[in-house]
């Protein structure tokens, strides 16, 4: 059971790394360093069976990815209705 949970955890962290790699060109040097540290901590937590900590690190990385994406202008509007005047 532990091996299956560790494998699922590692796969999820791997996907997070893939998404962040696509945004790397828009990240600052400090953000890239933070990404590397947090990915390493999440991978280590997965290997140790601490999926909760790994999930928390993945959430932090997702928030960072959102900020990088928004700053780069590559994210669609969160509420597209607001920009078209359709939302009432």
Tokens coding 81: 């209705």
Q: Do residues 65 and 38 make contact, with C-beta atoms less than 8 angstroms apart?
A: no
Q: Which residue has the higher pLDDT, 83 or 54?
A: 54
pTM of this structure:
0.70
Q: Where are the domains of the chain?
A: 2-84
Cα 34 to Cα 3, 38, 41, 67, 72, distances in angstroms: 28, 6, 10, 13, 18
Summarised one tens digit per residue, pLDDT across range 13-47 is 888 888 888 888 888 999 999 999 999 999 899 88
* Mean pLDDT of the chain, nearest integer: 79
Tell me how far apart the alpha carbons of residues 46 and 27 are, in angstroms, rounded to a whole number: 25
């Amino acid at each position: 059971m532990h091996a299956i949970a560790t494998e699922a955890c590692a796969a999820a962290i791997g996907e997070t790394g893939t998404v962040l790699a696509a945004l790397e060109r828009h990240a600052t040097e400090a953000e890239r360093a933070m990404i590397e540290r947090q990915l390493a901590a999440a991978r280590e937590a997965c290997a140790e069976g601490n999926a909760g900590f790994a999930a928390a690190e993945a959430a932090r990385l997702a928030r960072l990815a959102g900020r990088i994406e928004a700053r780069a202008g590559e994210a669609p509007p969160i509420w597209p209705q607001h920009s078209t005047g359709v939302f009432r």
